[in-house]
Amino acid sequence: MKVAITGGSGYIGSCLIKKLEQQPWIKSVLSIDVKLSNVQLGNKVNHITHDVTLPFDDLLTEFKPDVLIHLSFVLNPSHNKDQTHKINLSGLTNALQAVVKANVKYVIYFSSTTIYGAHSDNPEWLNEKSVIRPKDDFQYALDKAESEALIKDFNSNNKTIKTLILRGCPVMGPNVDNFISRAFQKPVLIGIKNYNPPLQFIHEDDVVELMELCMQKKFTGTYNIAGNGTMKWSEMAELIQARMIKLPSFLLYFLTEFTWQSRLQSESNSAGLDFIKYRWTVSTQKIKAKLNYQFRYSTQDVWRIFCEQRT
């Protein structure tokens, strides 16, 4: 099997390529990314430096992949909304266009459980039929939701191409390095007074193994993925041995938005605080039943591994 991966130099892309190049059923891998990978690539892997906001029909047509895995997406918050949106949506549009031109028959897209939004009236467990309602001004979730809608339209016009959407909760593991993991490197964690929501994590190995399995089975549809169980915000702070400071909601939202707008910090605007205020946990029963998959790592396992790595 030949696999093309956009965003191959990113966190998940690097983990996936490292695993795929060891598999005998993988003939070759094409990594497409605007930056070079920071991990050594094997003989099966060919990296091409390319900006996905520019068409890349010719790259896929020449490589002739069986599968395209689209991972190119801006995770870290940015003050440049237009450029971020261009990368996220134009990149996906170009990927789908290239799929058609190169006659690729299977596409995997990595989405996010943040598209459900963190709301006070969320049920205990959100499932794939729950309403998608990303929070205003939380661009990551808004662009993920718009991307899913784009794929849905694509499906209706391209019946012969199979697609899979995996809605993942935050991914953690030994190789993680993003604004989420860096937030937990600090000696102090900020919480919201009178709120202590449960959260979910998924291990990078589970994400990679799921993608491998889905490629082999040409699995289609939309599925939530997350490690079993949850951890409350206060439990996470205790296990990582960070001091928890809880502030009143109105004060923390004001301070966060003020420092974001004045560019005193670039980690998140106030919309991001909703995810440590309200519950947004998802059910994974659908993928367990359809694919007979059991997650290797629970949410608590993932968090413990991260804490041990940090120390």
Q: What is the pLDDT of residues 19-55, one digit of tens each?
A: 999 999 999 999 999 998 877 788 899 999 999 999 9
Token pair in block for residue 170: 């935050």
Are 226 and 199 a contacting pair, CB within 8 Å? Answer: no
CA torsion sign, 159 to 161 to 162 to 168? negative
Q: Minimum mean pLDDT among 72-81, 173-182, 274-283: which range? A: 173-182
Q: Minimum mean pLDDT among 27-36, 143-152, 261-270: which range? A: 261-270
Query: In this model, does residue 311 exceed pLDDT 70?
Result: no
* Residue 173 φ/ψ region, left for φ over 0, alpha for ψ in the -120 to 50 degree band, beta for the rest: left
Q: Which residues of 257-278 are buried (b: 16+ CB within 10 A; e: fewer)?
A: bebbeeeeeeebbbbbbbbbbb
- Residues ≥6 apart with Cβ < 8 Å to 116: 122, 126, 130, 131, 132, 133, 134, 280, 282
Token pair in block for residue 65: 């992949």
Query: In this model, does residue 220 exceed pLDDT 90?
Result: yes
- Within 10 Å of residue 79's Cβ, how many Cβ atoms? 11
Residue 240: pLDDT band with limits 50, 70, 90: confident
- What pTM did the predictor assign? 0.95
Residue 199: helix, strand or coil by DSSP? strand
Q: Which domains does the chain carry?
A: 2-176+201-227+281-297 (3.40.50.720)
